[in-house]
Each structure stands twice: as structure tokens, then as C-alpha cells.
Structure 1
Amino acid sequence: MPGPFPGMDPYLERPDLWPDVHQRLITYIADTLQPQLRPRYHARIGERLYVIPPQRSVYQDVTVTQRQPVSIPTTSGGTAVLVADTPLVIIAPAEPIREPFIELIDLAQGGQVVTVIEILSPANKTAGEGHDVCQRKQAEVLASDTHLVEVDLLRQGMYTVAVPLPYLTPFRPWHYVVSVSRAGHRGRFEVYLRTIRQRLPRIAIPLRPPDPDVVLDLQAVFDRCYDHGAYADLIDYRANPDIALPADEVGWVDEYLRQQGLREGAV
């Protein structure tokens, strides 16, 4: 069963839900493409691992220790014991991030990677190690003979996809972007822009010329994610989404959810 919105559901951008959505999108995109790719090509799920240092780690069950007494001499020749105040020892381990992506490989060429498909995560769009890793990988692919497909379904965070932002500014408003950069044509981007009111696009995924593109129906994949993830059980559509809506979309979302019977005052 598809979600209540015609395209991307802004409620799924919630930080605690997105990792599950991200994993499902990766899996179902690979599953969807596989029959179109075989027998020459193969969709393979890869994973990169990096560590994000903790920004804030505060725990109630902190470990409290006491330093050993420090002795200092006194002026009378005796000794006085100076005891340090008891500190709170807070152990804040670095957080390992596992980030899946998709590679389309050419079995006829010994498994050479032809296309990389990235689904952006909040870590990719936040200043720090996650963003740096994403940008390094992006630069590496753009400098190679591998096609790059980037899917950004998150409204919050830094602009991250390869197509320069100034080129997209005239087409605002848009909330979600898919960028396709073909090897051999790096100055040319195929871009799909969508708002929360619009269906997600059908994307042309490039392979090795002269083989034709395969088509990824991103909306169909997203609907499958929504259904199999049972996200309707986890979302209260009577409340506003955790990631604030654009001011000019608040009224539309309210009316649309009422029409779907998900808020009081349904019409």
C-alpha cells in the first residue's frame, strides 16, 4: 500500500526512521534493477564504514571515580593531604556509521564498476566526517569513467549532490533532487527535481555505451518501502513532521492529510 502523499513522505525524514528507510531503498532499488541488468550486468550492494566522533554524549549512568590523594609538604615539616575533587568520568565512544550504496558492475569486463548509485543520508549532509567522506567519494567517481547517480530525499542539511547549486536555483521551489552524471560528459547533468506535491521520478540509469539505459521508477520503489516498512503504524499524521515543512506547504499538507482521512475535519 502506498503512503498518503503523491511522492516522498516528509514524515519519513525523521532521524529515527530514516536509517530504516535508507536501507530499504538501497535493497529495493537493487532488487528492482537486477532483472533489467542481467545477464551482463549485476546490481551489488556495497557498504562503507567510517567513524563520527561524538558531538554530545551525556549519560545518566556515568562512572564516578575518585583520584588518589595527593600529598604536599607543610611549612612545619609535617604533611597535609590534598584531595582532588571527585570528577564525573563520561565515556563517549565514537559512533561507527555503516552506509550502504549500490554498484552496477559489468560481468563481461571482470566485474568493473559501471555506475554508482548513492542515497544521501543525514550524515552526508551534515558538516563533519560523513559529509567529507561523501564528498571524497563523489570526487573520486567524477574523476573516473564511472557514472554517478545521487538521490537526495532529505530537505534538511547541506547541499551535497554533484550538480552545482546555482544551476538549480532558477527552478525553485523544489525539495528533492536526483542528479545523474555520465562518464565522459561531466559538464552535463541530468537532473530530476520534485516537491512534496509531486510523484518521484522515473530515472534513466546509464550503463556502458552502447547499451541502453535501464529505468528506475523511484516512486514505485518508495511505495514498496512504505508498505513493507509498515511506516503507517509509526507516524502520527495529526502532528507536524519533525523536519519542519516549508511555510508555503503547511496549508497544502494539512488539507491533503484531511482529504486522506488522516486528520480531523476530513472532507
Structure 2
Amino acid sequence: MPSPFPGMDPCLEHPDFWPEVHHLLISMIAERLVPEVRPKYEVAIEKRVYEVNNTNTDSLLVGIPDVAVKRQSQASEGLESEGLELENRQSNIAVAESKSKGITVHIPMPETVRQAYLEVREMTTRSVVTVIEVLSPVNKRPGEGREFYLKKRQRVLGSLTNLVEIDLLRGWQPMPILAEDIQSDYRVLVSDEERRPRATLYPFNLRDSLPIFSIPLRSEDVEPMLNLQELFTTVYHRAGYDYRINYEHYITELTPPLTESEQSWIRELLQQ
């Protein structure tokens, strides 16, 4: 069955699904573009590696397994059980009892984050013509990941490389543009290097379908069209999300939370 939503499925923003959605969508975009741009161009999947320190539980990366906290919890539980055993073994020994008790705390742990993105490159010169990004929480949350991405974004915008930026996450601050008064749940930014500082923004909301837009190449080439709604529908079908998602559960767990009217609208969709 197709997704019950006309556009983006907000439940797929949940960390249980988003890493897989990101991977599948990147792969689908590459698969769709290759026949359109060959043989002059190639479409390559590249990976960016972040080393991010989590300084508190609120800044843990959404969409990445919380391995650090799990390790800390397991280690703490192990230390506590060892302490109980030691206490039992020493119960018959007269020792001075400490007046202070240790408490369990979490310490900053580095997380290695690998994120895929696409490069459209000229076959002959190997120069990067277009970068295609599908944003993840690590790009949008305040902290090292966002700062790292913004620096890379500025380098692209200051070069002869085109940029396509796809944001399918409602949470956190969107990537900066000069018209900050534009509000939307989701957005696609297409920045053709020949038109800068002008760019084309496709803002859309939860109740809208995903847009169709062109991928900029060199000025002399025909730009291929990318139907994001069609690609997303294919991803949804291939991953079998229609039977994997318990919508009644996930619509109450999303970040940011859905409004009451949005939840009511979703329940009407599900009943249909």
C-alpha cells in the first residue's frame, strides 16, 4: 500500500526509520539521474564523516543509535553489580563506612557519524558540477555537525559548483537563506552557480506533495527533472513501511510534536 500521506510521511522522520530513509533516498536519486546525465557525467555517492561530541543528553544525535549512552549504562550496571558482590564478601569485615555515595553520571562521548551525499561529476575532467544533499539531524541540530556542514555549504556556494539541498525534516533550524520570513515544514533549495546569489526555493508543508524540480548542470546541457514525490513513493514501497509503521504509536513520539489538528488530520487519513 502507498503512504497515507500526500507528501512527506512525518513518521519516517523518527530515528527508528530516518537513517534507512536517507540511505534509500540517496540511492534512488542516483539511480534516477544516471540514465539522464550519462555519458558526459557520472553520479557518485560520497560519504562525509563527522566526529561529534555529545555534551548532554539533549544534544544526542537523532537518527543515530545511542551507542555511547548504552555503553555507559551497561558499564554502570556492571560496576554496580560488582560493588554489591564486593559488599557481600566484605560484610563480615569491620571497615570504615564512607559517608559519601557515588552517583551515576554521563560523560561526553565522541560519536563517528557517516553521512552520504551525491556528486555529479564530469567524466573527462572529474570536476564536481553539482552537489546533492539530503539533510539529516546532524546537519540541522545546533553543534559541531551543523557548523561543519555550514562551512562545507559556504565553500560550495562560493565555488562554480551547483547545490541542491533537500530538507525533509521539520525539526530544528532550516539552512540559512536571506529571506528568513519564509516558513515551511520542508524545503528544497536549488542553487545554480550562474544565478547566484539568487536561488530557487521550493517550500512545502505536511499536507503538500513533494516538489518536482530540475538538477542544474553546465549551462549548455539539458537539466534532468527530479520528481521527489515519485522517488519517495518508491522508497516507501520498497522498504515496506506500510506494514512496518505503527502510526498510532509514532505520531505521538515525533520531534517536534505534531499539533492537535495535525494529529486529527492524520487519524482521518488512517481511517480512510
Instruction: Tell me the TM-score normalized by structure 2.
Output: 0.80
CA distance in 1, matches of 2:172, 2:265: 23
CA distance in 1, matches of 2:111, 2:44: 26
Structure 1 position 231, deviation (Å): 1.6
Partner of 2:253: 242
Larger RCO, structures 1/2 (Cα 8 Å, 6+ apart):
2
Mark the structure with the bigger radius of gyration: 1
Q: How many pairs align?
A: 239
What are the equivalent positions in structure 2 for 1:122-137 lying under 5 Å apart? 122-137=137-152
Q: Structure 1 residue 124: deviation in Å?
A: 0.8
- Is the contact made by 1:202 and 1:215 (CA closer than 8 Å) also made in structure 2? yes
Give 1:84-233 correspondences, 5 Å limit.
Answer: 93-108=109-124, 110-160=125-175, 162-169=176-183, 174-233=184-243
Q: Distance in 2 between matches of 1:31 and 1:60?
A: 42
Give the counterpart letter for 1:181 in structure 2. Answer: S
Q: Do residues 258 (structure 1) and 271 (structure 2) align? A: yes
Residues 18-39 of structure 1 deviation map (CA, whole Å, 9 limit, x = unaligned): 0110111111110111110101
Q: Distance in 1 between matches of 2:23 and 2:43?
A: 15
| CA drift at 1:90 | 6.6
Contact 1:11/1:241, CA 8 A, preserved across alignment:
no
Distance apart, 1:129 and its partner CA: 1.2
One-letter identity of the residue aligned with 1:218? L
Q: Equivalent pairs: percent with the same residue? A: 38
Distance 2:163 2:194 in 1: 11
Question: More helix by proportion, 1 or 2?
Answer: 2
Checking the alignment, whether the CA contact within 8 Å between 2:53 and 2:110 is kept in structure 1 is yes
Question: Match of 2:73, as an amino acid?
Answer: Y
Equivalent position SS for 1:213: coil
Change over 3 Å in CA distance of 1:250–1:85 after alignment to 2: closer
Residues 14 and 241, structure 1, Cα contact 8 Å, conserved in 2? no
Aligned: 1:39 with 2:50? no
Q: CA-atom RMSD, angstroms? A: 2.5
Q: Structure 1 residues 250 and 86, CA, compared in 2 at 3 Å: closer, same or farther? A: closer
Distance 1:83 1:247 in 2: 52
Q: Secondary structure at the match of 1:138?
A: helix
Once the 2 structures are TM-superposed, how far is the Cα of residue 89 of structure 1 from its aligned partner?
8.8
CA contact (8 A) 2:2 2:242 kept: no
